[in-house]
């Protein structure tokens, strides 16, 4: 039996029995792991996009692990000002990580993107689209060639810049945002 401690992002939650939940979690060191935990009324329930610290207990030849000692580190800032499209963009980022992330990619960079998004006080749909495009760039799905020269320059910038600089872009108008969302 082994015990690992790390920061994790919850990508997917499934109910497997009456009080058992199955989590698909992602970390920068161990990639994606499936773990289960019993639902408890005394603990705060976990949700998608939470970044949590906890211990995971593994055993040889077991594909579903146990989790314990959970502490929520951060969560996507859901306030009354969040609209459906912003939440949808964030969920699409998690879905991309869950479905399309190859195991040979640098996971710490993608984990860093999610952490930056969660820590931002003001995050809007445009920043989430830019973050999603950065993840596309990391997993080599981003084509930086575009018929619109401005879009092409933005895509090159996204491809070559760290997430901190990308999230500082503020001059993107609605028309450009819609074009970037389609990509």
**How do residues 33-52 score in pLDDT, each as one tens digit?**
888 887 777 777 777 777 77
- Residue 65, CB half-sphere, CA atoms under 13 Å: how many? 20
pLDDT of 8: 78
Separation CA 183–CA 180 (nearest Å): 5
Judged against a pLDDT cut of 90, whether residue 161 lies above it is answered with yes
Separation CA 30–CA 134 (nearest Å): 21
- What's the alpha-carbon Rg for the chain, to the nearest Å? 18
pTM of the model: 0.71
The full length of the chain comes to: 183
Structure tokens at 167: 């999230």
Counting residues of the chain whose pLDDT is more than 70, the rounded percentage is 91
Chain-centroid distance, C-alpha 9: 7
pLDDT tens figures, 75-117: 666 555 566 777 778 788 888 888 887 777 777 888 888 888 8
- Sign of the CA dihedral with 176 first, then 111, 11, and 9 last: negative
**What is the mean predicted confidence (pLDDT) over 125-150?**
87
pLDDT of 69: 75
């Amino acid at each position: 039996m082994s015990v690992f401690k790390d920061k994790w992002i919850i990508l997917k939650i499934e109910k497997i029995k009456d009080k058992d939940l199955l989590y698909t979690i992602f970390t920068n060191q161990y990639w994606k792991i499936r773990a289960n935990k019993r639902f408890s009324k005394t603990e705060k329930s976990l949700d998608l996009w939470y970044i949590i610290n906890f211990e995971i207990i593994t055993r040889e030849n077991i594909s579903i692990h146990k989790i314990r000692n959970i502490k929520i580190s951060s969560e996507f800032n859901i306030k009354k000002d969040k609209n459906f499209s912003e939440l949808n963009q964030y969920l699409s980022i998690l879905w991309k990580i869950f479905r399309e992330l190859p195991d040979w990619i640098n996971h710490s960079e993608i984990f860093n993107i999610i952490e930056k998004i969660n820590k931002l006080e003001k995050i809007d749909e445009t920043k989430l689209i830019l973050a999603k495009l950065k993840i596309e760039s990391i997993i080599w799905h981003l084509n930086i060639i575009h018929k619109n020269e401005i879009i092409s320059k933005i895509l090159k910038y996204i491809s070559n810049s760290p997430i901190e600089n990308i999230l500082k872009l503020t001059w993107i108008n609605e028309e450009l945002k819609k074009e970037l969302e389609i990509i």
